[in-house]
Structure 1
Amino acid sequence: MSAAAARRRPALLIDLGGVLVHDKLPAASAKWAARLDISERDFVTAVYAGNDTEVLVGRMSGAEWWSVVRQRLGLTEGQLAEVRADLVAHPVWDRTLLDAVAALRGRAAVAFVSNAWPDARPNLGEVLETADVTVLSCEVGFAKPDPRIYTHTLDLLGVAAQDALFVDDMAPNVAAARALGMSAHQHTDRASTLDVLDAFAARLPASRTS
């Protein structure tokens, strides 16, 4: 197979949090806003403000960033542990979507592309086996919608942008993928994303068997 032909391999690049993993932030924000007598916006700001240039791209460790969060919210050690558990422990997967992604293996390259803090990978467990590669912002040093995280992933998979479908729940991330030439879908609900994945699968070659 020629190099040009190899780069015609189709690929799916898909987000984790908010797409394949249930977003715990709304429930955690409501809980802790009530407990700390602050607004939900203030809670979100305390946890995430500035993270995109620090912990999200690996310039701070997870422990260092959680120390910042503790100071911002005035938490005890026990409360901080509870906040962490509410936000990141025991991820809840959308198994229907995950099964649809797994069904593409062997017919298309599959990559998880996530803006994530250090120590995220261990929480993913055996689900990592669903993808050919998993690209985390904290490990590569740039986060969506930075074009470099997309091109880095495409290079790892050995595919061209025009042969890739990107799925994410954030509009700026979807727009950045489209600007690079990828097809892209903004995830808002399971049904519409399943429709997109089904349409993508219908255009793929049959799975190879030995």
Structure 2
Amino acid sequence: MKNLIFDLGDVIIPIDLRAPLRNFAMLANMAEADAEALWKQHGIWQQHETGLIDDDTFRAAVREIMGNRPNTPAHWADEVIDTAWNSVLLDLPVERIDRIRELASRYRVFMLSNTNAIHIREVNRRLVSLGQPTLEEIFERVFYSHELKMAKPSPDIFQHVLGEAGLVAEETAFFDDNAGNIRAAAALGIQAVHVVPPKTMLDYLQDF
């Protein structure tokens, strides 16, 4: 094994996927189930994650979708929207970052994440506040879905990473929490490691 590719959410940093829904529902004074229905109907999460809409368009869509109701303010500041959106990100375990940095001395290390620019800026802000390098400095290269305009589990994104970084699939381990992503990577010959709670990435890295 020569190469290690890491997912971000629930591999490096724990996440709570329902937290943004709870926060936007509270801001809009609506039930969480109603907020969830609106998100699914309009699909702005996926559009943001695959780079079909940028940060400003995403925020405008949130204001339109969540704020277009009687007695509900539709002019939330960017910071209000970003704070609610970033509530998906829980506390960042520094020991996971330390382990990756240690592995980087023996392996080529990469990140492949379905994400968006708002979340990446927040993760990097937290890393710097903890005295750590940014994601772009920790990894040899980062691959973000919103920049590539494609997302896991599409085989295309895995093939793009292998090609761009010059990696041999059989010499590459991929760590992800999503079973669909794991199956897609394994189908290409990548050594796919499914990170399943209560274990963390640190448990799966013991033999590296």
Say if 1:61 and 1:148 are closer, same or farther in 2 by CA, change over 3 A. Answer: same
Paired residue for 2:177?
169
Instruction: Name the amino acid aligned to 1:127.
Output: T
Separation of aligned partners in 1, 2:23 and 2:148: 33
- Residue 60 (structure 1) aligned to one of 53, 56, 68: 53
Separation of aligned partners in 1, 2:33 and 2:196: 21
- Deviation per CA, 1:83-128, whole angstroms, max 9, x where unpaired? 4213227954221222222111021111111112245544343332
Separation of aligned partners in 2, 1:63 and 1:196: 38
Say if 1:141 and 1:90 are closer, same or farther in 2 by CA, change over 3 A. Answer: closer
Secondary structure class of the residue paired with 1:72: helix
Say if 1:191 and 1:84 are closer, same or farther in 2 by CA, change over 3 A. Answer: same
- Deviation per CA, 1:115-149, whole angstroms, max 9, x where unpaired? 12245544343332211100011111211111121
Give the TM-score taking structure 2 as reference length.
0.77
**Is structure 2 residue 26 aligned with structure 1 residue 28?**
no
Pairs aligned (count):
192
- Residue 72 (structure 1) aligned to one of 60, 65, 70: 65
Separation of aligned partners in 1, 2:34 and 2:196: 25
**Is structure 2 residue 78 aligned with structure 1 residue 85?**
no
Secondary structure class of the residue paired with 2:53: coil
Identity %: 25
121-130 vs 107-116, greater mean Cα deviation: 121-130
148-157 vs 39-48, greater mean Cα deviation: 39-48
Separation of aligned partners in 2, 1:159 and 1:51: 33
Structure 1, unaligned stretches of length 5 or more? Answer: 1-8, 202-210
43-52 vs 68-77, greater mean Cα deviation: 43-52
Say if 1:41 and 1:188 are closer, same or farther in 2 by CA, change over 3 A. Answer: farther
Say if 1:102 and 1:175 are closer, same or farther in 2 by CA, change over 3 A. Answer: same
Separation of aligned partners in 2, 1:90 and 1:53: 15
Instruction: Name the amino acid aligned to 1:30.
Output: R
Instruction: Name the amino acid aligned to 1:21.
Output: I
Instruction: Name the amino acid aligned to 1:131.
Output: F
- Deviation per CA, 1:143-202, whole angstroms, max 9, x where unpaired? 111112112212233221111111112221111111111122222336342221112x1x
Give the TM-score taking structure 1 as reference length.
0.77
Question: Do 1:174 and 1:185's aligned partners in 2 also have CA atoms closer than 8 Å?
Answer: yes
Calculate the aligned-residue CA RMSD, in Å.
2.7
Separation of aligned partners in 2, 1:43 and 1:180: 37
Secondary structure class of the residue paired with 1:166: strand
